[in-house]
Structure 1
Amino acid sequence: MSISLYERQAKAALEERSKLVAELRTIEADNKMTAAEKRERVERIDRDVMRLEAEARDAVERGEREAEVRAMASRAGATGFLTGSALPGDSESFRALMPSLNEYRALIAEGTPGAGGYTVPEKVSAQYADVLKAQSTFLRALPAANVLTFDTETLQVPQLIESDGEGYVAEGAELPEGTMTWSSLSFPARKIGRVQWASSEVLEDSALDLRNIIGQNLLRDASLRFDADAFNGGLTDEVKGILAQGTSTSLAAGKVTVTYDDLADACARVEAMNGHPSVVWASTDMGAALRKEKASGSGEYQGGSPTDTPASTAWGLPVLVSGFLPARTVVVADASRLFVGIRRNAAIRISEDARFSSDQVGFKLTMRVAGVGVAEASSVQIIEAAAS
């Protein structure tokens, strides 16, 4: 293939991506779709957008790599090292000369294990970023605009603490001067990472797609690590959690379960400060209790018939169950007032060089996160049922 063909492939992928981005805008403006339908379509289109971006980058990198090989072959031919059909312009012979980047690293670094470093096609990394978001109970509820990417060690989000100066003014009178007090939410980047090794024999002989399984397991563990901190991180921990930053309400003695009435009260407390409740997070026991709550008199389930899909909403809000919330805990939050920083998205890289002499393949996952920040404590209402 010529470089121009790779360029055409990249251009086609980017044009298709532009169409999908335009479709995202129409989905946001479509009032006929429910929030759940919008979220499902947006997540699906996001995956396709990331895939097309990765295809475009891959085409550009292939073109650049072939250009380097051509230049190297041209120099070798000029000094008499190439003969026969391996001449400049013969693309098939160039691929035979240097079939892949992995083989190129092996040739230049043979006998130096690890010199090639960790590598992975960009397409794989972009694909995994979507998987991480889908698996994270916390990130799934946040608007995309509140997952902030940044390129420094620490992210600062300006925060308006207080403003005043409003008042009635007589005709012709001078307008009063207002004041604003500003602060900021600080997000230091923290890394999550792990390496998993597998022998080439295991990867070759396994009846399962172990490469994919290892990658998915690494991503699952990373999402679980982040969820644990996003809920439970203390104010002095590396990643602050929402339980330490919200407003807590403890139910009276004897009230050992959180009910729909309690959720209604929490929604009102969020709305009292002009917030907009958007999600309910529940511990495992309280999530089960909400689904089993029955109406007095009729004895019917409040969440609908058990022959239907289990109740997944309360007062129109999605109910997400997390095993990382402490027992007897439910959180009602305005997710638009929560912020998460992403310094480096989840990426899995594969190395066949680091343990070259023992013929092992390494899978490395890394990501750098920062957060969680809560704009104001009233936006996160924590309900704690009584122990007895």
Structure 2
Amino acid sequence: MPTTEIYKRQANAALDDRQKVIAELRAVEADNRLSNTEKRERVEKLDRQVLRLEAEARDAIERGEREAEVRTLVERQGMAAMVTPGGALGGPGDSDAWRSILPSGNQFRTLVAEGSPGAGGYAVPAKTADTYVEHLRAASVLLRVPGINVHRFDGGVFTLPNLTSSTTPGVVAEGAAIPEGTATFAGLTFAPIKYADLYRASNEVLDDAAFEMRSLISGVMVRNIATQVDKDAFQGSGTASLSGLTKAGMGTAVNLSAGNTVVKWDHVIDAFSDIEAVGATPAVIWASPDMGKALRKERENGANGGYLAGQVTDRVTEKGLGLPIYVSANLPAKTVIVADPSRIHIGVRSDVRVAVSEDFGFDKDLTAFRTTYRVAGLAVDATAAVQVIKASAS
């Protein structure tokens, strides 16, 4: 069997195993019988397995491609006899001796003019891993909330039609003409922006590390992008970033008066009612760390009564008013958001991709890792369905 075919089978086997692990990962995330601690431990373990299998598949693909490049070059130079038993280099046992006098595929790429885009340069195709969208979702406080609408699309900007108003039907007398109703539409526009991260590592470090350094670098880059997307999704200005939920016009701002330095359950209940009033269904509470602590510890009759969110045995850290509580350091301080996530939309142009290239720092024997993610805006189709409560500074 040709060596390239062996590498191909190795890569396919690793990718098949990866799909099985991802299926197991999704099953664990959906298993409500597991505690949060058990679920987190299993998810972290399965994440590591996914990264390891991706590294195995990537390595096999790279080896196969290098093998094919060198063999093609040998054939073009009329040196094929050197790779067969009894060829120019000798009899059986010398079939691989040609490797010592021919450069590797990556060495041949140095003939490309790095400073001239027309001659190739840094445009030499990099090896791209599979997508990391599930890893990103698990790391994002915003995206892991059930019910948020994720729209995948092709091309450039796309528009999501939005019905903003319609006429109210009235009483019509018997035999009278029924008046025609009207509907007003607007459009939610999504323009993709790119988040990117770049790391370089010497091949000595990659080869000699006591653990899988490639997987570590990839995991760190994906985590960094997830954190930045999460932060922008909550407080982005919309200028060279997402428009965050706390930006003016994205939701309904509720600024507490002076003296109300802490968001209380009374304020959350008011927001709950305001969301219901527009026909939406409150389903999530996001809180900054300081307000998350305050809500979870609020008690009846001051500091002596029971917790308003429930008894300690009722997992008060997880729910309030029947809604899950998500605490994120990516929210501005003194902020609580009560929302119907089904009224929040985010566009995804392309999932997170990790690319690896040995050409970027060829003269320094470096390997470059690049991570990109193209996400297209964040939009709310009913601002009253997202109540942004801000406690007073004093």
Which deviates more from structure 2 when the two are superposed, residues 256-265 or residues 69-78? Answer: 69-78
> Counterpart in 1 of 2:275?
270
Which deviates more from structure 2 when the two are superposed, residues 349-358 or residues 61-70? Answer: 61-70
SS at match of 1:291: helix
> Counterpart in 2 of 1:104?
105
Distance 1:307 1:163, change over 3 A: closer
> Counterpart in 2 of 1:375?
381
SS at match of 1:340: strand
* Displacement of 1:220: 2.1
- Which AA in structure 2 matches 1:190? I
* Displacement of 1:149: 1.8
Distance 1:277 1:118, change over 3 A: farther
Give the TM-score normalised by structure 2: 0.73
> Counterpart in 1 of 2:260?
255
What is the 5 A alignment of 1:21-36? Answer: none
SS at match of 2:268: helix
> Counterpart in 2 of 1:166?
169
* Displacement of 1:378: 0.4
Which deviates more from structure 2 when the two are superposed, residues 365-374 or residues 165-174? Answer: 165-174
Distance, in Å, in 1 between the alignment partners of 2:386 and 2:359 is 48
SS at match of 1:192: strand
Which deviates more from structure 2 when the two are superposed, residues 215-224 or residues 68-77? Answer: 68-77
* Displacement of 1:277: 1.1
> Counterpart in 2 of 1:135?
139
What is the 5 A alignment of 1:85-100? Answer: none
Give the TM-score normalised by structure 1: 0.74
Distance 1:308 1:77, change over 3 A: farther
Is this contact kept in 1: 2:85–2:95, CA < 8 A?
A: no
SS at match of 1:168: coil
Distance 1:79 1:319, change over 3 A: closer
Distance, in Å, in 2 between the alignment partners of 1:54 and 1:204 is 13
SS at match of 2:137: helix
| Alignment partner of 1:291 is 2:292 | no
> Counterpart in 2 of 1:90?
none
| Alignment partner of 1:319 is 2:325 | yes
| Alignment partner of 1:357 is 2:363 | yes
- Which AA in structure 2 matches 1:222? I
- Which AA in structure 2 matches 1:253? A
SS at match of 2:273: helix
What is the 5 A alignment of 1:16-165? Answer: 83-84=84-85, 103-110=104-111, 115=121, 117=123, 122-123=128-129, 125-127=130-132, 129-141=133-145, 143=147, 146-164=149-167
SS at match of 2:131: helix
* Displacement of 1:168: 3.2
SS at match of 2:286: strand
Distance 1:196 1:57, change over 3 A: closer
* Displacement of 1:97: 8.9
Which deviates more from structure 2 when the two are superposed, residues 344-353 or residues 134-143? Answer: 134-143
- Which AA in structure 2 matches 1:104? G
SS at match of 2:267: helix
Pairing partner for 1:387 from 383, 390, 393:
393
Pairing partner for 2:348 from 342, 360, 371:
342
* Displacement of 1:85: 7.7
Is this contact kept in 2: 1:165–1:176, CA < 8 A?
A: no
Give unmatched runs, 5+ long, in structure 2: 88-93, 116-120
Distance, in Å, in 2 between the alignment partners of 1:203 and 1:78 is 33
